[in-house]
Amino acid sequence: MNRGTIFLLALVMAQPLFAQLSGSNQAIYQLGNQPDRLPANRTNLYDQLNLFYGSGDITLGLRAEIYNTDSRYEYNRISQKYIAYNLGNLQLRLGNFYEILGRGLLLRSYELPGVVYEDTGTQQRYGFYKDVEGLSLRYENEFIRAKALAGRPLDFSRPPIQGRSQRRRFFVQGGEVDFLLHDNFNPGVLYLRSDSDGRVKEYNGLNFDGYWGDIQYYAEYIQDGSNRDGTFQLGQNGAHAFYASFNVVYKRASLSFEYKDYNNFTLVFNDPPPLVREHTYTLLNRSTHSIEPNNESGYQLEVLLDIGGDNSVTVNHSRAVNHLGNQRYTFFEYYADVNYYLDPDIITKVFADYSQDELVSQKNRYTAGASAEWGFGKDWQFISEIQWQHFQRDFIFNPAQNHSAENRYVNVSLNKGPIYSAGIILEYSNDPVETNQLVTSGTLKFRSWPAFLATYQYDQQNVFNLFVGKRRGGNACTGGICYRVLDFEGVELSLTTRF
């Protein structure tokens, strides 16, 4: 046990002495593995401890992560530490911090609390956060809102085993100043300089936002200013990112429209808005379009209608075009859902979706589903959900392998108040990519993923979650961030504690 662990343990045991010490802990134990990897009974335990200490205007924060497994990839480290000072209009933070410039076209650091990422190659598990290590300043008064930062952003795609020099190989300096002129019009300027192994890049841009009652707009343009010719490069080959949004509410209807144009703008530290609807339905969430900031333009349009009695209708359309090499790829999606109360205790939701994503060779993708929640007795709830998807996969360079496939999803669960919850999930797919027929010409016609899930809230501080069965891998999107989830077969038990 290293000194860091002893320090943490001592700090925690001395907790009652500090009235302003708070924090959280998440421990996840797994017994099992990916279906095609050995040993099948692999065990690992991931633990993340977050401690905060506040005194007056000063806050101290510390994060420790432990990953125990029977391999050389285990680790035990303090992964974040900071001191924050709040002096009225000025906020200063030294250490690990999160910051966003504009809407994230240039820089966005963030965290997905509770999400643990597993690296495909090493299977190392680590907390899902992209922070910056350095110094950040924020200042605001009635005329101006300013941010400045200098530090090393984390390249999240690299697991902890790669070490700090690889994971934090960029050094960035920059900021944003917004001038709070009027509700209708607030202009801002953005600047960032990045340095990696002596390779220096400079980015600069402008943004505007404002509103008139229920009409609101935002626009942002960033370009790589390293070529120093100073010309706007919208729609041209230079590295740039443009994003604009407009929304309006009229009586019981609202509309939001967004436009994007990204070119050569894949940076380690940015996260431009993808302009694709964020779905929580499992099949749609998994088959979401992943943006390609190297070249992507498009738009998203969404209409939300209040149809009375707390019921609503959502209609969404998004479209994106990528030019990669000499090839043009088109994505589009048409989505609609209805949220309807059949009775104060029975809530239903129905959705339908039609889409195409040529970047993943999928065409004529139809998805539909329905969910219902029924409250009965004193505090019991029964929830059921069914989803279905059919699509065609066309290969440009090998049409002989073209095929169609189907995915199905069923979920039923029973809850007693917020304390107990138990449910069953069953997924099915005859997708040749899932059954490995494309590469091995195997005889497997379909795959299924049955699983049992349970949640128990022990008290106000402690929540247990249990997963037993098979978890289907693939894309997953949480909080606007999409990432790869690996298949898993086994048992997973987690305890989340807040104190």
Partner 1 sequence: MQKRLIWTVLFAGIFSIAMAGIKIPAFSLQDINNKTRHYKDIKGEKLTIIDFWATWCKPCVRAIPKLSEIYHAYKQKGVSVLGISVDSPRNAAKIKPFVKIHRMDYPVLKDPQGEISTRLNVTVYPTLFIVNSANQIVYTHYGFRSGDEKILIKEIEGLLGNAHE
Our CA angle for 269, 275, 278, nearest 5°, is: 95
| Distance in angstroms (rounded) separating the CA atoms of residues 105 and 276 | 15
| Distance in angstroms (rounded) separating the CA atoms of residues 359 and 243 | 22
Binding-site string for partner 1 from residue 276 to residue 315, where x marks contact by CB under 8 A and - marks none: --xxx---------------------x-xxx---x-x---
Query: Using the rule CB under 8 A, is 475 a contact of partner 1?
Result: no
Contact predicate 354/366, CB 8 Å: yes
Query: Using the rule CB under 8 A, is 47 a contact of partner 1?
Result: yes
Query: Using the rule CB under 8 A, is 85 a contact of partner 1?
Result: no
Burial 212-230 (b: 16+ CB within 10 A, else e): eeeeebbbbbbbbbbeeee
DSSP annotation of 440 reads H
Identity (one letter) of the amino acid at 288? T
Residue 406, both tokens? 């189907």
Our CA angle for 328, 333, 335, nearest 5°, is: 175
402 — phi, psi (to 5°)? Answer: -60, 145
Which of residues 235, 418, 442, 450 is near partner 1 by CB under 8 A? 418
Which of residues 79, 162, 186, 435 is near partner 1 by CB under 8 A? 186
Of 344 and 399, CB closest to partner 1:
344
Which of residues 4, 24, 135, 264 is near partner 1 by CB under 8 A? 24
Instruction: Give the list of residues 6+ apart from residue 84 with CB closer than 8 angstroms, or none.
Output: 58, 59, 60, 61, 91, 92, 93, 94
| Distance in angstroms (rounded) separating the CA atoms of residues 402 and 441 | 14
The DSSP result for 123-146, as a single string, is: --EEEEEE-EEEEEEEEE-SSEEE
Binding-site string for partner 1 from residue 370 to residue 389, where x marks contact by CB under 8 A and - marks none: -x-xxx---x-x-x------
Query: Using the rule CB under 8 A, is 252 a contact of partner 1?
Result: yes
Instruction: Give the list of residues 6+ apart from residue 396 with CB closer than 8 angstroms, or none.
Output: 327, 361
Query: Using the rule CB under 8 A, is 187 a contact of partner 1?
Result: no
Which of residues 94, 255, 468, 485 is near partner 1 by CB under 8 A? 255
State in angstroms the smallest separation of the CB of 29 from partner 1. 9
| Distance in angstroms (rounded) separating the CA atoms of residues 60 and 74 | 27
State in angstroms the smallest separation of the CB of 462 from partner 1. 5
Of 421 and 429, CB closest to partner 1:
421
Count of residues near partner 1 by CB under 8 A: 106
Binding-site string for partner 1 from residue 448 to residue 467, where x marks contact by CB under 8 A and - marks none: ---------xx-xxxx----
Query: Using the rule CB under 8 A, is 404 a contact of partner 1?
Result: no
Query: Using the rule CB under 8 A, is 496 a contact of partner 1?
Result: yes
Which of residues 174, 225, 274, 490 is near partner 1 by CB under 8 A? 274
Of 217 and 332, CB closest to partner 1:
217
State in angstroms the smallest separation of the CB of 60 from partner 1. 12
Contact predicate 44/30, CB 8 Å: yes
Query: Using the rule CB under 8 A, is 88 a contact of partner 1?
Result: no
Of 75 and 394, CB closest to partner 1:
75
The length of the chain in residues reads 499
Of 238 and 375, CB closest to partner 1:
375
